[in-house]
Amino acid sequence: MSPREDDRAGRGPGRERGRIQHYYSSSPRRSDKSYVIKFTLKGRIIELASSGGVFSKDKVDLGTQVLLASLDLPERGDVLDLGCGYGVIGITIAKLRPGVKVTLADVNPVAVKLACQNIERNGVGNASALVSDLYSALGGATFDMIVSNPPLAAGYAVIFPLIEGALPSLKPGGRLVLVLRKGVNAIPRKMEAVFGNVTLVSRKSGYRVFISKRAPPGQGGSPAERKEKAKEEVPPDS
């Protein structure tokens, strides 16, 4: 089946998930083996503890590297690292931008426990981590930026709600930033459908970084917001 046919079938990149357990899970496979990952970005040294049961357990994966290199970060504000794993993206952002409050969230409790340890390990007081199935435990908080290396193994049943939930979880003018493997085309199409815009901002080594922006007030809003507004403007039956 070609990628296009797979998109139409609605299975998405996680079609193998019925046969293997993916890491984006509330009950991942356990492992006692531990790892320490150390890297430098823009003069900041980041050291992270990892273990089995999380994504890219023994190295920073290439997609995350491409994403981090492409980020245009605010000096202040609120950033969400969704599907944070053991904290590579969120902790790096917190180190690069001390004036930004970073929230790390993941459904995998093993990953979140590691992320909490790594926040302390790196001394980033402007970051915190919690267990959350997408946006469910965030209490309606809104952000200036939502960043994710989404769990493709989990399939569109997880990734499409991630995109849909990003719209109300962003402040006006806020951005959703996703890194994807080349050839995964249904996801940027979904970003376009939800936000009314999607921009390819970086491509390297088989990965692409896409951004969708929530329209500021007075600029018409997203297709979803315009549809909701139209419903509100329909007069009641007399």
Residue with tokens 């989404």: 150
* 170 membership: H or E segment, kind and range: strand 170-181
CA gap 97, 56 in Å, rounded: 24
Q: Which domains does the chain have, with CATH numbers?
A: 3-217 (3.40.50.150)
Centroid of chain to Cα 193: 18
pLDDT tens by residue, 63-118: 999 999 999 999 999 999 999 998 999 999 999 999 999 999 999 999 999 999 99
> Residue 27 is encoded by which pair of tokens?
């009950």
Beta-strand relationship, 170-181 and 127-131 = unpaired
- The residue ranking higher by pLDDT, 23 or 169, is 169
> Residue 58 is encoded by which pair of tokens?
């023994």
Give the mean pLDDT of the chain.
83
User: Which range is least confidently modeled, 19-33, 34-48, 174-188?
Assistant: 19-33
**What pLDDT sits at residue 151?**
82
CA gap 89, 104 in Å, rounded: 9
What percentage of residues in the chain have a pLDDT greater than 70? 75
pLDDT tens by residue, 110-163: 999 999 999 999 999 999 999 999 999 999 999 999 999 998 888 899 999 999
